[in-house]
């Protein structure tokens, strides 16, 4: 699962960086974030997605899973809020491909359910024992 989420995040980050104007507009359409934060988030979020995606794909650690969970969880809450307010928006996840996806019947709803499922999967994986490069936490032995 982590490698798939890593690819998803790297692709999303690259597509956002390729069209920062569209992503900035998508952030504004949520009508929740302070206007002073939009410009910083427009470059920070895709950059963070690239780094976290890279880490998930090449070195699946608890830290990378936690960052991915924070990204997906905060996005899920933001999208749920916008959806509950019936705001006309696209999520901005994959640049112009997002517009096409959300024009499909139930496109936004299916996208939201997929993001929610990934978020739940990441939370469950955070609760599982350490794997793939995580160092188990052990008390140092004195003797």
Please state the rounded mean pLDDT for residues 75-85: 84
Residue 130 has a pLDDT of 54
> 90-133, pLDDT tens digit by residue?
767 776 666 666 566 666 677 677 777 887 888 787 776 555 45
Q: Indicate the pTM of the whole model.
A: 0.75
Q: What is the 3-state secondary structure (H, E, C) of the chain?
A: CHHHHHHHHHHHHHHHHHCHHHHHHHHHHCCCCCHHHHHHHHHHHHHHHHHHHHHHHHCCCHHHHHHHHHHHHHHHHHHHHHHHCCCCCCCCCCCHHHHHHHHCCCHHHHHHHHHHHHHHHHHHHHHCCCCCCCCCCCCCCCC
Residue 57 has a pLDDT of 93
Residue 140: pLDDT above 50? no
Residue 6: pLDDT above 80? yes
Residue 56: pLDDT above 50? yes
Residue 19 has a pLDDT of 87
Residue 139: pLDDT above 90? no
> 9-53, pLDDT tens digit by residue?
999 899 889 989 888 888 888 888 899 999 999 999 999 999 999
Residue 131 has a pLDDT of 53
């Amino acid at each position: 699962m982590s490698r798939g989420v890593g690819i998803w995040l790297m692709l999303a980050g690259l597509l956002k960086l390729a069209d920062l104007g569209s992503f900035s507009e998508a952030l504004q359409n949520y009508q929740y974030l302070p206007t002073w934060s939009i410009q910083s988030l427009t470059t920070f979020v895709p950059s963070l997605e690239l780094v976290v995606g890279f880490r998930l794909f090449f070195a699946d650690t608890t830290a990378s899973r936690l960052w991915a969970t924070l990204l997906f969880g905060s996005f899920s809450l933001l999208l749920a809020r916008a959806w509950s307010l019936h705001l006309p928006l696209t999520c901005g996840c994959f640049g112009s491909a997002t517009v096409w996806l959300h024009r499909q019947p139930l496109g936004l709803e299916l996208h939201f359910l997929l993001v929610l499922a990934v978020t739940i999967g990441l939370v469950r994986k955070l609760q599982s024992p350490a794997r793939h490069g995580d160092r188990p936490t052990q008390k140092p032995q004195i003797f």
